[in-house]
Structure 1
Amino acid sequence: MTTPRLQRLRLFRRQAPVLSLASVIALTWLGLSAGPGQAATVANPPTVASPPTVGSGPSGPADEPAHVTDARTPVDHRPPLPASKHELRRDYDGPGKVALKPRPSMQDLKATAACNPADFTSRTGQALVNQIKASTTDCVNTLFNLTGTDAYAAFRETQMTTVAYALRDNGSAYPGNNSTGTAQLTLYLRAGYYVQWYNPSTVGTYGPTLRTAIQSGLDTFFANSHAFDVSDANGETLAEAITLIDSSAQNARYLSIVKRMLTGYNNSYNTSWWMLNAVNNVYTVLFRGHQVPEFVSAVQTDPSVIDTLYGFAADHKDLLSGDQSYLTSNAGRELTRFLQYSALLAKVRPLAKALLGQTSLQGPTAPLWVGVAELADTYDKANCAYYDICNLQAKLAAAVLPINHTCSSTLRIRAQEMTTAQLASSCSSLASQDAYFHGIVADPGPVANDRNTSLEVVVYNSSTDYQTYAGAMWGIDTNNGGMYLEGDPAAVGNQARFIAYEAEWLRPTFAIWNLNHEYTHYLDGRFDMAGDFDAGVSTPTIWWIEGFAEYVSYSYRNETYTAAITEASRRTYALSTLFGTTYSNDTTRIYQWGYLAVRYMLQSHRSDVTTVLNYYRSGNWNAAASYLRTTIGSRYDADWSSWLSACGAGNCGGGGTTLPECAAGDVRALGKNCQRSNRGTTTGNYDYLYINLPAGTAQLQITASGGTGNCDLYYNKTTWATSAAYTQRSTATGNSESITVANPPVGYSYVSLYGATGCNGVTVSSRY
């Protein structure tokens, strides 16, 4: 995930219903598969040196807990809760991870669920109930977006009361699966609480009539003998019902359900994504319960739920080394959170200390140790010596981030585990990106009063380590792909920082996830965006902030942004619409469509980009917004639509940056960051090229583009590359081909265009 340039600490009253989960940006470091290297002899290759060995409010629509296996899994982007900085990352749909059955994003739901709000807003009584039960859950999911008169017609109190009593009637005969539409009724009620929370003046107030009805509905469902069946068929409805406890602020009334779910858990749950979801949703009930006075009073009167949490955490430490780690660590966190009440200190302190004693700061039990330590540090800091957690952030940094490497006067890397070569290649990648960035934006220097002269990159060893440690160390949300913290760039001594991790799923290839995207945020904030993050988003600038970071990341690494090109073919948004993008929009619009908008503008209307950037650099946000909204307005929308059609078909035009022609006299010779244009060959034949690489080259990128026909790209590290002798190849339709070579050998490497059907006018470029 990528995030705004500054973590925003927004305060709310009791958290609104949980928002939907949207797909997080995935900056995939693409690499082509190596092909079989078969020997072939070609006359007169250059002399080859011996190469070295290649080394918030009520729960929202998507119904998925934010349990990420890695940054590529969809996560939740709700506003943070009204809590301390340390808690902003734990806005439970859960900080753990599940990898069993991913759910669709809201954009997918909108595309696949043909739902007409009028089907609900025009009905009352039993007709409304019948319509809800006859709809799909995907359809009901879309109702979380209702506003205005539709919101009132669907979710006014009389409508909600009708549906709550229908849940009661339905729940009495619930068969243990969703054949009778129980999940749809529950989800509709959740949608109502969600929409009313954000639109109270439109929907109207909810009072004791609905409260009585919702209690009746939940009481009946939970009393059903099938309500706790361990199966996927039941799990979906059970998970919805548990979340509805919190949406309706019934956290105190159903503490017994929390305890039953935790004591009833066993390994049989692990085969069902929905049952794991249901168990983890009890932590939502507990976490948000602290904002409900009745909940706090109930626990102080009967603190047995604290014993239940301790028992779960102590008895399920075996989960900490597997995919269900979040269940155990969340239990420890929610137990320790009760330290905020003086009446419960005597109860909670020894249990929290006991869990710390049973676990370690590092190793497989670290998620539980860190979770308990962080909450004890938050709520009982004065007694840190009792827990042996004094100076917790420094204690964690000393143990977890032993590497402190200076790349240059403007860049430092702190890491958990990186080799000398990995540090060098990361420093080199960022240093080279500086020139690439400035070449695109043509800035005159830093914006006024920006003192972020250096960046600190913090690199954890894996996504798991990031999720375990980064929240406690930096006070950030960790259900994402990394976070850039700009701070106040005008403050003396302010340290800009990117919190990141190694993409362990790409090993043995080494890559810091989102490195180039987030580094673009740093450069963009320093050279293009006046002031801090809040100033920069006072008008809609997200199309540029995130779109440009995507654009630089992909174009600098010479990678094809497949997801964005797929979106282009759908032609979902007018360009004039995208200029109004905000962080409240879904991530597909923010990232993929932001990339498309930036790429189009850089390629087709560069002077307009310069005008807008000059406004951004001076902090004249209103002038920039006016220029985009009125001066440009919809004038480019028709051309944009045509461009999208071409881009979706594979012809997006130039990448916005043209490399110089290679300077060597031999027209076959490629070089550093240059290109050979007007290449081609006939069907079945080759156009041979080569490149001489210096020692220490971490990555070589070879691309082909443009022209006519269909030529494929081949690479060989030891001799002329052919279709029978290659170590990597790219064989897409047309001439858009790309090969990335990690740690290429010193000396000559070989590249060729092969005429699948013959080609002309092709440009072959090389970057390293």
Structure 2
Amino acid sequence: MKTHHLAGVSLALASCLSLSAPAQAAPQGAALPASHLAPQPSLDAERTPARKPLSAKDRAPTPSSLDHLRDHHSRDALRKPAAKTGAATLAACDTSIFTRNSGWALVDAIRGSTMECVNETFGFTGSNARSAFSEAQMRSVADGLRSYAASYPGNNSQGAANLVLYLRAGYYVQYYNAGDVGSYGPGLKTSLQGALDTLFNNANIFQNSDANGETLSEAVILIDSSVQNARYLWVVRRLLNDYSASWNSSWNMRNAANNSFTVLFRGHQETDFQQAVQSDSSTVYALSDFASRNWNLLGTGNAFLTKNASRELSRFLQYASLKPTVRPLVQGLTTRSSLNTPSGGIWVGLADMTDYYDAGNCNYYGNCNWKARTEAAILPLRKTCSPSLTLRAQSMTAAEQTSTCSSVVNQESYFHDKLQTNRQPVANDFNSSLELVVFDSPSDYEDYGGALFGMDTNNGGMYLEGDPAAAGNQARFVAYEADWLRPSFQVWNLNHEYTHYLDGRFDMYGDFSANMTTPTVWWSEGLAEHVAYCYLNQRYDAALSMAGSYTYTLNQLFDTDYGNQDRVYRWGYLAVSFMMERHRADVSTLLSFYRKGDWTGARSFLKSTIGSRYDAEFRSWLGTVNTNGVNCANGTPPANVAPTAGFTFSTSGLTANFTDTSTDPDGSVASWAWSFGDGSSSTVKNPSKTYAQAGTYTVTLTVKDNKGAASNPPKTQQVTVRVASNQAPVANFSCTATGLTLNCTDSSSDADGSVVSWAWTFGDGSSSTARNPSKTFAAAGTYTVTLTVKDNAGASSNPPKSQSFTVSTSTPNLCPGRSDQMSNGCVRAGLAGAAGDLRYYYIYVDKPNVQLSIQTSGGSGNADLYVNTQGWASPSSHNYRSTNSGNAETVVVPVYTPGYIYLTVSGKTAFSGLSLSTRY
């Protein structure tokens, strides 16, 4: 199947669901080739968990946002919901307009609707599916799109995006419901091609605007849904080549560019695509250029673009005829990236891909033993929480490790009490231990999780059960820290996913595939929500507020599958909570079937024995539960554990800055009481205290948790503050000679204040008090330039800084060789660029033990200078930098052995007339 978009997430976990599944042939009668993955689903579709690890070949490009990793109730893992474009709201959406109209009446109904309303059609089945998406209906919509595409104005005012989304829905529904919809033939293909040809030949579809990006991003997805990947390769290349820094502020334009990687990812399954890319290597170069040109996006919220381009470039290694072209491009990106830097995701992604597509050549790429190297660098921490639980982490304090371990170890006792397991695993379950892997952030999770553990990462964390009946199988939960909650510490989705491990080991016989023999989603996800919320003693407002809508009967909920996030998680929680509270004996009977793998017996018990018997009672319970709350008493929560107070501090003069590091293993710290030892106090979490006089003070912190327990004992530390003595400034500068003129740039510093005055002497009797003076000498020669500076407290640099420079009447060396090549003593003049532009250069230093001076000067605007000794330099990858205001930048690099140095001029704003010089 094609990657479905994750929508369902939970209280403690966004989801345990995978975002990718093995390819499967299209149903009989479907128009799609059997090799092609299913069309991408709606804006809020679900996916079922993966049944086996995903290889590098099967892992899709990263989506355009990390929001799905941060929101308990994310709408979509790969795209945000479309903006409203009509007057109707989703609540007023009448989807019958799509089934009762045909021809141009259907086209007009779609155009007059909204993206949200059209999106509802992805769920059509049966007669609705056939009435909406028969080939005749789809051809009418495609012909309608073709008609309006010719005059497309660059926004959705004519409803073009609605029509494109409807066509996407049709391909999706027909793939999964071919028996209902009927087959699609060559007539639809011809109409669809005519529509997309007309749209993509309208220059307005490539306008750089967020309004246009809404339609463009949908149209790029439609390329893949309709299996036109080869025909529109030129569109992909244009998007990659057109992308510039000005696109970064538009979500829709970024998404359109990012969707092009999906067209490539899935295109490799089609014969015509394979032939097209092997006969024309321009797509390969477009990807390589895109990655190199947008290297500066690493470490930003748009880094996914550069990472996806790098991975999709390496996927072309599967073609023997292209390997001579692709290998050096991939090697160059690998060399330019490294672990534990913003480019780490590229390094491990390319290592994973080259290991799959070009195995045996790791020495060429320099990434042999990449997995062991990555785990050692990225997951260095290991802690045994209990005989059954091992914690591995990227970075945690000792207190954070203890808090994480305590939370799940205590939850285990709560689970066994609530489910009455007698701590007896189901038969043939050898998952006696769980490995909990915690990355530092969602970004790190996406960078490293998939490659290391064979999983998709378009989700909120994942429980990888494996085959519990296989000896040596290692169950694993891969998670990440919720970095957006810092300084508070939280492993995202910890307790929900740990419930899945316990449920799988003690309640559900066999592996996940066996568990899904009959519908068990209501139990699996509902129990994980119920246990997590009850254990944490938290109210599940998102679920409780839905109860009064009476959307489902209990009998209907027994049929839940992974198709709707509210039904899976919120209504699953309500169903399990009701059964645990009102019919605990029936739960025990149900578990007796689940624990021995009698799925037919369990299904019969739910649908025949219980059936609709409790529907009226369930409805009555729904009417009061939002007010009364869920009764969690069937399971004794562990006694509340008091929090542990802790803090760190730093001092500057008489001021002390305090940072709270307190933890609570079974809840959260809710209040802080500071005593500063001089009679003053504070209740701020991270206070700053300025003392009246120097001395040593006893500072005490007492904290309380969300259940009222106080830290005992409080945390006490001695804090010493003193009146700081002024430190003298340090003078420093560099100068560049051009003819008889010496341009000098100040780089002096003051550790505890600021430099306020400059006194220069130039060795010929002249002087200056300018900060960055320019001196023209009367005659050629070598002159000693001396700078003395003073700080804002009146202290002078001691000693002053002196350097000798030679000026002459000769003209500057204008740099031989390539346009990006520098040499000793050369100057490149007249450089210009836009804000965000990067101008790359390099120099080969042929002498050991020299000082390489790199300077920019002159012109207008503001350009910064970045230097890297390991690979191409950028704002996110460099060893040295100079980022003054204006264009006067200087970097001095000590060079101990001959080799290449890489330098980049980066437009902080637009700049022009700039000169770049190198000398050693």
For the superposition of Structure 1 and Structure 2, which TM-score range results when normalised by the shorter chain? 0.7 to 0.9
Q: Match for residue 763 of structure 1?
A: none
Q: Match for residue 25 of structure 2?
A: 13
**1: CA distance, partners of 2:470 / 2:240:** 47
Shift of 1:263: 1.1
Q: Match for residue 152 of structure 1?
A: 130
1:686-733 CA-to-partner distances (Å, cap 9, x unmatched) read: xxxxx9888999427799xxxxxxxxxx978699xxxxx9889xxxxx
Q: Match for residue 442 of structure 2?
A: 463
Asked whether 1:655 is paired with 2:655, we answer: no
CA separation of 1:75 and 1:85: change in aligned 2, threshold 3 A: farther
Q: Is the 8 A contact 2:63 2:304 kept in 1?
A: no
From 340, 362, 367, the equivalent of 1:384 is 362
CA separation of 1:252 and 1:154: change in aligned 2, threshold 3 A: same
Q: Is the 8 A contact 1:306 1:335 kept in 2?
A: yes
Asked whether 1:409 is paired with 2:392, we answer: no
Shift of 1:237: 0.9
**What runs of 5+ residues in structure 2 fail to find an aligned partner?**
1-8, 647-661, 676-681, 686-703, 716-920
SS of aligned partner of 2:463: strand
1:397-476 to 2 correspondence within 5 Å? 397-444=375-422, 445-476=424-455
SS of aligned partner of 2:492: coil
AA matched with 2:38: G
From 562, 570, 591, the equivalent of 2:569 is 591
1:52-90 CA-to-partner distances (Å, cap 9, x unmatched) read: xxxx4223221xxxxxxxxxxx89637879996234442
1:732-743 to 2 correspondence within 5 Å? 740=706
Asked whether 1:544 is paired with 2:509, we answer: no
SS of aligned partner of 1:271: coil
Q: Which has the larger radius of gyration?
A: 2
AA matched with 2:56: H
**1: CA distance, partners of 2:555 / 2:298:** 48
Q: Is the 8 A contact 2:206 2:216 kept in 1?
A: yes
Asked whether 1:521 is paired with 2:491, we answer: no
More relative contact order, 1 or 2 (CA 8 Å, 6+ apart): 1
From 38, 42, 66, the equivalent of 1:61 is 42
Q: Match for residue 237 of structure 1?
A: 215
1:325-367 CA-to-partner distances (Å, cap 9, x unmatched) read: 1111111111110111111111111111111011112211112
1:209-608 to 2 correspondence within 5 Å? 209-444=187-422, 445-583=424-562, 585-608=563-586
Shift of 1:236: 0.8
Asked whether 1:699 is paired with 2:677, we answer: no
Shift of 1:279: 1.0
CA separation of 1:175 and 1:107: change in aligned 2, threshold 3 A: closer
114-123 vs 485-494, greater mean Cα deviation: 114-123
1:248-299 CA-to-partner distances (Å, cap 9, x unmatched) read: 1111111111111111111221222111111111111111111111111111
Q: Is the 8 A contact 1:330 1:371 kept in 2?
A: no
1:131-158 CA-to-partner distances (Å, cap 9, x unmatched) read: 2212212221111222222222222222
Shift of 1:117: 4.1
CA separation of 1:17 and 1:441: change in aligned 2, threshold 3 A: farther
SS of aligned partner of 1:382: coil
Q: Is the 8 A contact 1:14 1:57 kept in 2?
A: yes
Shift of 1:587: 1.8
Asked whether 1:86 is paired with 2:56, we answer: yes
TM-score normalized by the length of structure 2: 0.66
Shift of 1:456: 0.9
Q: Is the 8 A contact 1:287 1:334 kept in 2?
A: yes
SS of aligned partner of 1:497: strand
Q: Match for residue 145 of structure 2?
A: 167
Q: Is the 8 A contact 2:348 2:370 kept in 1?
A: no
CA separation of 1:702 and 1:166: change in aligned 2, threshold 3 A: closer
Q: Is the 8 A contact 1:262 1:309 kept in 2?
A: yes
Asked whether 1:118 is paired with 2:96, we answer: yes
Shift of 1:611: 0.8
AA matched with 1:85: S
Q: Is the 8 A contact 2:406 2:666 kept in 1?
A: no
TM-score normalized by the length of structure 1: 0.78
**1: CA distance, partners of 2:307 / 2:102:** 44
Shift of 1:122: 2.7
Shift of 1:118: 3.5
218-227 vs 149-158, greater mean Cα deviation: 149-158
**2: CA distance, partners of 1:86 / 1:352:** 15
Q: Is the 8 A contact 1:579 1:628 kept in 2?
A: yes
What number of residue pairs does the alignment pair up? 650
106-115 vs 524-533, greater mean Cα deviation: 106-115
AA matched with 1:351: L
Shift of 1:430: 1.7
Q: Is the 8 A contact 1:144 1:192 kept in 2?
A: yes
Q: Is the 8 A contact 1:338 1:344 kept in 2?
A: yes
**2: CA distance, partners of 1:741 / 1:314:** 53
AA matched with 1:225: A
SS of aligned partner of 2:361: helix
Q: Which has the higher helix share?
A: 1
CA separation of 1:59 and 1:202: change in aligned 2, threshold 3 A: same
AA matched with 2:549: R
Q: Is the 8 A contact 1:701 1:740 kept in 2?
A: no
Q: Is the 8 A contact 2:68 2:459 kept in 1?
A: no
1:651-686 CA-to-partner distances (Å, cap 9, x unmatched) read: 1242234659xxxxxxxxxxx717xxxxxxxxxxxx
**1: CA distance, partners of 2:282 / 2:51:** 26
AA matched with 1:86: A
Q: Is the 8 A contact 1:152 1:204 kept in 2?
A: yes
AA matched with 1:575: L
Q: Is the 8 A contact 1:80 1:88 kept in 2?
A: no
CA separation of 1:440 and 1:152: change in aligned 2, threshold 3 A: same
Q: Match for residue 25 of structure 1?
A: none
Q: Is the 8 A contact 2:247 2:254 kept in 1?
A: yes
CA separation of 1:653 and 1:408: change in aligned 2, threshold 3 A: closer
SS of aligned partner of 1:252: coil
Q: Match for residue 135 of structure 1?
A: 113
Percentage of matched positions with identical amino acids? 48
**2: CA distance, partners of 1:90 / 1:742:** 47
Q: Is the 8 A contact 2:16 2:49 kept in 1?
A: no
**2: CA distance, partners of 1:388 / 1:700:** 43
Q: Match for residue 673 of structure 1?
A: 639
**2: CA distance, partners of 1:12 / 1:340:** 21
AA matched with 1:12: Q
473-482 vs 362-371, greater mean Cα deviation: 362-371
Shift of 1:510: 1.5
Q: Is the 8 A contact 2:70 2:482 kept in 1?
A: no
**1: CA distance, partners of 2:257 / 2:50:** 22
CA separation of 1:289 and 1:273: change in aligned 2, threshold 3 A: same
SS of aligned partner of 1:611: helix
**2: CA distance, partners of 1:603 / 1:423:** 34
**1: CA distance, partners of 2:624 / 2:547:** 9
SS of aligned partner of 2:437: strand
SS of aligned partner of 2:478: strand
AA matched with 1:485: L
401-410 vs 469-478, greater mean Cα deviation: 401-410
Q: Is the 8 A contact 1:447 1:528 kept in 2?
A: yes
